Amino acid sequence: METGAEVTLRLRYVSGVSPSKWLRVWGERRPDLPLEAIVVDEAEQLAGILAGEADVAFVRLPVDTEGLHAVALWEELAVVVLPKDHPLAEAESLTLADLEGETTAPVQPEAAMTIELVAAGTGHAIVPHSVARLHRRKDVVAIPVTDAAQTQISLVWRQDRDDADIQEFVAVVRGRGAKSSRGSADDPPPMKPAKAAKLAAAERRAAAAKSGEGKGKGGTSKSGARGGRPAPRTGAGAKQRSRRRGR
């Protein structure tokens, strides 16, 4: 926490974490203490905390938590990023065995660069689902790898900086009210792997369906009729209406 003309709570977070909702809640709850949020490279995710340049950080495990408080938040499903024309690109899910013999793209300092190499055809990359979604492109697909190791996001801060302001921010992140005690039993558990895989597959299907909307003038409307006209009514109800009209 900075001292001087303006005091701020300094937050660092890795790619794939979206802190906007917590920034909004914090701004409403603590307008007296602005929150400074800066994204950092995964390789440097603890640097600011250890140097005293940041107060709290969202990190991707594993990290060395000696001298730190750490609160586990959620698990991230692993996905494989493949070129869109890859023979496995249509699969709903894959296993590590399915990827045996497949070339791995050179890992770059930034995930976006690695995924760009995947798009260029240099191989595949296994990354957290949140990272693949952040850097999604039209020329690659992300497919859940059901038996790949998951990653976990945690909130960390130094043990010697365990003050009321940081505890209030922890409460905001964990969804507790201003008067809730820490460690509430109501904290949501991490998403199960099977549910996360289904969610990722559903997102892919929804994206594919959306890309196919509006093609052609003779498409089928929500009512099941073509050309935008309502479908003709049939059945007993239609016959009764016809008799009332003298047909």
Residues 94-113 pLDDT 10s: 999 999 999 999 999 889 99
pLDDT at 188: 41
Could you give the count of Cα atoms lying within 13 Å of 13 in the half-sphere of its Cβ?
Answer: 19
Instruction: Measure CA 30 to chain center.
Output: 26
Claim to verify: residue 122 and residue 14 sit in the same structural domain: no
Residue 142 maps to which CATH number? 3.40.190
pTM for the structure as a whole: 0.66
Residue 156 maps to which CATH number? 3.40.190.10
Looking at the predicted structure, is the pLDDT value of residue 226 above 60? no
pLDDT in tens, 119-157: 999 999 999 999 999 999 999 999 999 999 989 999 999
> Which of 180, 197, 226 is at the close of a domain?
180
Residue 128: cis peptide before it, omega within 30 degrees of 0: no
- Residue 195 in any domain: the answer is yes
Q: Work out the pLDDT band at 220, boundaries 50, 70, 90.
A: very low
Could you give the count of Cα atoms lying within 13 Å of 68 in the half-sphere of its Cβ?
Answer: 24
Q: Work out the pLDDT band at 200, boundaries 50, 70, 90.
A: low
Q: Work out the pLDDT band at 217, boundaries 50, 70, 90.
A: very low
Query: H helices of the chain, where?
Result: 20-29, 47-51, 111-119, 129-134, 164-173, 193-211, 236-244
Q: Which of 17, 60, 28, 64 is nearest to 172 (CA)?
A: 28
Give the list of residues 6+ apart from residue 130 with CB closer than 8 angstroms, or none: 16, 17, 76
